[in-house]
Amino acid sequence: MKKVLAGVPKQLGTSQPKALYILFFVELWERFSFYGMRALLILYMTYELLFQDTKAYNVYGIYTALVYAAPVMGGYLADNYLGNRKAIYLGGIIIMLGHFCLALPFKESLFYGLAFIIVGTGFFKANITSLLGQFYEKGDARRDAGFTLFYMGINLGACLAPLACGYIGKTLGWHYGFGMAGVGMLLGMFVLLKSVRILDSKGNPPSKTNLNQSLGFGLTPYRLIVIGSFISIALFSLCLHFHHVMGHFLNIFGIITLIWVLSIAYRCNYEERKAILTLLIMLLFFMIFFAGFEQAGSSISLFTARHINRYIFGWEIPAPWFQSIPPFFVITMAPIISAIWVKLGKRKLEPLPPTKFGLGLLQGGIGFACLMIGIKTADTQGMASAIWLIFAYFFHALGELSLSPVGLSMVTKLSPPRFVSFLMGILFLSASFGNYLAALFARIFGAPNQPLQANDKLGSLIGFSETFEFLFYFLLSASIVIFLISPFMRKTFEKYQ
C-alpha cells in the first residue's frame, strides 16, 4: 500500500527508497558544476576570448553534443565491465579535474577543461540514473514520481549554480567562477562516498567481470579503461579545436550508433524488440525538444545579455543569473506535477509518455512565442522587457517537466535489464543531437555573416527573432505529430506501466 501512495511530498520519508535522496544530492552537485560552467561559457567565449558568435555557437554546440553523446560509451562500459557505481566514481573525479582545469587563467585551458568534462560526464550521467532505476521493481507505482523528484535535484543544482558561479565570475573573474563549479562536483563525490551502505549491492560490476585480472605489463581491465579515458580527453580536446568539421563525425557516429541499437533489437525477442523500437521513436521527439530547450545556454543567453533590460533600481542583474529561472520553476512545480501524476495514476487517468511528450513540445513552442512577443514589443534601442523572458522560461520549465523526467523513467521501463545503462546512454545521445541542432539553428538563423557594429542593436534583434520564430513552428509541428501517432504506441506503454 505504501508503494501506491508514493510521490506525495509529505510521505517521502516512508514511501520512496532511501537511495533516492542520496542520488538526489549527488546529482544536485554534479548538475551544479555543469550548469555553473554553462552559465559562463558562451559569455566567456564572446566577451573575454572575443570569439565571434558563429565560432562561439560552434564550440558550444560541439561541446554540448559530445557531453551528451559520451554516456553511450559510459553506459556500455558500466553494463559490461565497471558497474554503475565505479563508473560514477570515475566520472565524478574526471569532471572535477575538468572544472579545475577551466579555472586555470590560460586561454588554452578552455578546450582541455571541456574535454575532461565530456569524458567524465560520459561515465557519470547515464549511470547515476540507471542506478536509481534499480531501486524500483517492475510496475512500481512510485517510479515516475521518484524520477520527477530526482529531477528536482538536477534543477536545484541548476538553479543555484548560475547565481553562485555567475556572481563569482563577475566579481572575481571568469576562472574563479569555473573553479566554484569544480568545488560543487567535489561535494557531490563526498556525499556519495559517505553513503555507500545505503546503496547496498546495487550498481556493482557484473558478476562475470574481474576488473583486476592481470592482462600483462601491469595492466588490468580497469586500468585500461582509465588509460583509455585520458586518451579520449586528448582526442576530444582536438575535436573542440577543429569544431568546424566535427559535425560530420557526429553524424557518422549517430548513424553507427543507430545501426548498433537496431542490431541489438534484432537479436532480442519480439516484445523486447518492439519496446526498443518504440523507445527510438520517442527519443526522436526528445531530441527535437532539446533542440529548442538548449537555446538557454546559447542564443537565449546572448539575447539576455544584449537585449533584455536587466536594470532594477539602477542595479544591473548579471546575465547568467537569468539561467536560474527555469530550474527555479522546475523546483517549485515538480512536487505538484509529481503529485498530479500519482493522483491520476490511482484513477487510471495518468497520460502515457507520448501524450506527456506532446505536452512538453507544445509548452516549449509557447515559450518561444513569448520571446517573439518580447522582441515585437522591444523599445527603439532594441531592449525587451524581462517579463517575456521569464514567461518563456516558465513554459520551457513546464515542457521540461512533462518530458525529461518521464523520458528517464521511460528508458528504465522499456529497456531490457541487460541493456538499460546502454539505452540510457542512447537517451543522452538523442539529447546530444538536440544540443547540436540547437547550436546549428542558432548559427543559421541568428548569427550574422559579418560582425555587427556594437551599436547595431536592431540588426542583432532580427537574428534572434528569426531563430525564435523557427523554433516556435518546429516544436509546435513536432507536438502535433506525436499526438497523432501516440495511439499506435499505446499497447506497448500499457504493457510496461
Res 374: pLDDT? 95
271-305 per-position pLDDT tens digit: 889 999 999 999 999 999 999 998 988 889 999 99
Enumerate the domain spans of the chain.
14-495
| Averaged pLDDT for residues 480-484 | 96
What is the percent of the chain with per-residue pLDDT over 90, rounded to a whole number? Answer: 31
Res 338: pLDDT? 78
426 confidence band (pLDDT: 50, 70, 90): confident
pTM over cut 0.85: no
213-222, 230-239, 380-389: least confident range: 213-222
Res 455: pLDDT? 54
86-110 per-position pLDDT tens digit: 899 999 999 999 999 999 988 889 9
210 confidence band (pLDDT: 50, 70, 90): confident
456 confidence band (pLDDT: 50, 70, 90): low
Res 280: pLDDT? 93
Give the residue, 207 or 385, on which the prediction is more confident: 385
54 confidence band (pLDDT: 50, 70, 90): confident
446 confidence band (pLDDT: 50, 70, 90): low
Residue 326 burial by CB count (10 A; 0-12/13-18/19+): exposed, middle or buried? buried
Give the residue, 151 or 43, on which the prediction is more confident: 43
Q: If you search the block for the grid coordinates 523546483, which residue do you land on?
A: 331
CATH of 14-495, one of 3.40.30.10, 3.90.280.10, 3.40.50.10140, 1.20.1250.20: 1.20.1250.20
448 confidence band (pLDDT: 50, 70, 90): low
Q: Which amino acid is at 470?
A: F
67-81 per-position pLDDT tens digit: 888 888 888 888 888
308 confidence band (pLDDT: 50, 70, 90): very high
Judge whether residue 450 has pLDDT over 70. no
3-7, 144-148, 405-409: least confident range: 3-7
- What are the grid coordinates assigned to 307, written together? 537585449
317-366 per-position pLDDT tens digit: 988 999 999 989 988 887 888 788 778 878 888 888 999 999 999 999 99
Res 447: pLDDT? 59
Give the residue, 475 or 221, on which the prediction is more confident: 475
